[in-house]
Amino acid sequence: MTIKAGDKMPAGVFTIPGPDGPQKLQADDLLKGKKVVLFSVPGAFTPTCDARHLPGFVQHAADFKAKGVDTVACMAVNDVFVMKAWGKASAVDDKVLMLADGNGDYAKALGLEMDATGFGMGMRGKRFAIVVEDGVAKQVLVEGPGEFKVSSAEHVLSVL
């Protein structure tokens, strides 16, 4: 079942780059008691994700803070080392939290996984953005195949 507005976000575990190597981060620790924009890309360094999706959130990080967002987080079905390298290459600094969903477990828990085997990418997460307040999905913005509109930083800002 796909998550929808009003649903509690599922439990799960992400891996994040830490100062001493990979660290586990429980979804509840990220989402409970906070306002979070969680956006997902099909893959780090892939064309739209790298050229438009992540850069928009980096560019507008201060605008999200001004609208009361505690954390902007980027999730992808990639390993933590790829997410760390992509964050470094994209100069995310502390503007966007890079979340590795290495096996796609969180994408599956959200009901937002996609089969990208036709592109040689295996199972991935769909392109989406979810506005979360205290662990509850307030807005669920899922892109259609090949689209990049409703999950862009600019669109998410317009609906906050």
pLDDT of 91-123, one tens digit each? 999 999 999 999 999 999 999 998 878 887 768
Q: Where are the chain's structural domains?
A: 13-144
Does pLDDT of 9 surpass 90? yes
Tokens 């996984």 label which residue?
113
| Fold that domain 13-144 belongs to in CATH | Glutaredoxin (3.40.30)
AA identity, residue 104: G
Kindly report the number of other CB atoms within 10 A of residue 6's CB atom. 9
Q: Give the pLDDT mean for 32-48.
A: 93
The pTM is what?
0.94
Do 25 and 14 form a contact (C-beta atoms < 8 A)? yes
Kind of pairing between the strands at 35-41 and 128-133:
antiparallel
**DSSP H or E segment with residue 154:** helix 153-159
**Per-residue pLDDT for 138 more than 80?**
yes
Average pLDDT of the chain, as a whole number: 95
Residues serving a catalytic function are: 49
CA–chain centroid gap for 130, Å, is 8
Please indicate whether residue 18 or residue 34 has the higher confidence score (pLDDT). 34
